[in-house]
Structure 1
Amino acid sequence: MFSKIVDDEITLALVQPSFAKEYWAVVEQQREYLSQWLAWPQLADGEAFFLKFIKNSLHDYADGKSLTCAILYLGQVVGNISFNSINHGLKKVEIGYWLHQGYQGKGIVSRAVAALIHMAFNDLAMQKVQISAAEQNQPSRAVCERLGFTLEGIISRAENISGRVVDHAVYGLSRDHWLERQA
Structure 2
Amino acid sequence: MFTRQITDDLSIALVQPSFAKNFYEIVCREREYLSQWLAWPPHANGEAFFESFVERSLHDYADGKSLTCAMVYGGEVVGNVSFNSINHELKKVEIGYWLSQSFQGKGIASSCVQALIDIAFQELVMEKVQIAAATENMPSRKLAERLGFVLEGIITRNENLNGRVVDHAIYGLSRKGE
Compute the TM-score of the two structures, normalised by the length of structure 2.
Answer: 0.99
Aligned partners of 1:154, 1:98: CA distance in 2, in Å?
Answer: 21
Match of 2:115 in 1: 115
CA separation in 2, counterparts of 1:116 and 1:108?
A: 13
User: Secondary structure of the equivalent of 2:7?
Assistant: coil
3-state secondary structure, aligned to 1:148: coil
Q: Structure 1 stretches (4+) deviating beyond 4 angstroms? A: none
**Aligned: 1:98 with 2:98:** yes
2:125 is matched with: 125
Shift in Å at residue 30 of structure 1? 0.7
Matching of residue 63 in structure 1 with residue 63 in structure 2: yes
- Partner SS, residue 21 of structure 1: helix
Structure 1 unaligned regions, length at least 5: none
- Partners of 1:176 and 1:100 in 2: CA distance: 31
AA paired with 1:17?
P
Write the distance in 1 (CA, Å) between the matches of 2:6 and 2:64.
Answer: 22
Counterpart position of 2:53? 53
What letter corresponds to residue 62 of structure 1 in structure 2?
A: A
Query: How many corresponding residue pairs?
Result: 178
Deviation at 1:149, TM superposition (A): 0.2
Cα drift, residue 17 of structure 1: 0.3
| One-letter identity of the residue aligned with 2:27 | V
Partner of 1:10: 10
Residues 1-183 of structure 1 correspond to what in structure 2 (within 5 A)?
Answer: 1-176=1-176
Letter in 2 for 1:69: C
Name the CA distance, whole Å, in 2 between partners of 1:139 and 1:62. Answer: 32
Separation in 2, partners of 1:117, 1:43: 30
Measure how far apart 1:12 and its partner are.
0.3
Q: Distance in 1 between matches of 2:146 and 2:140?
A: 10
Q: 1:78-105 deviations in whole A, cap 9, x for unaligned?
A: 0000000000000000000000001000
Distance 2:160 2:8 in 1: 37
Deviation at 1:8, TM superposition (A): 1.1
Q: Aligned-pair distance for 1:7? A: 1.1
Taking the aligned partners of 2:6 and 2:50, their CA distance within structure 1 comes to 24
Distance 2:170 2:28 in 1: 29
Identity across matched positions, percent: 66
Distance 2:176 2:80 in 1: 27
Residues 35-81 of structure 1: CA distance to partner in whole angstroms, max 9, x if unpaired? 00000000000000000000000000000000000000011000000
1:176 Cα deviation after fit: 1.9
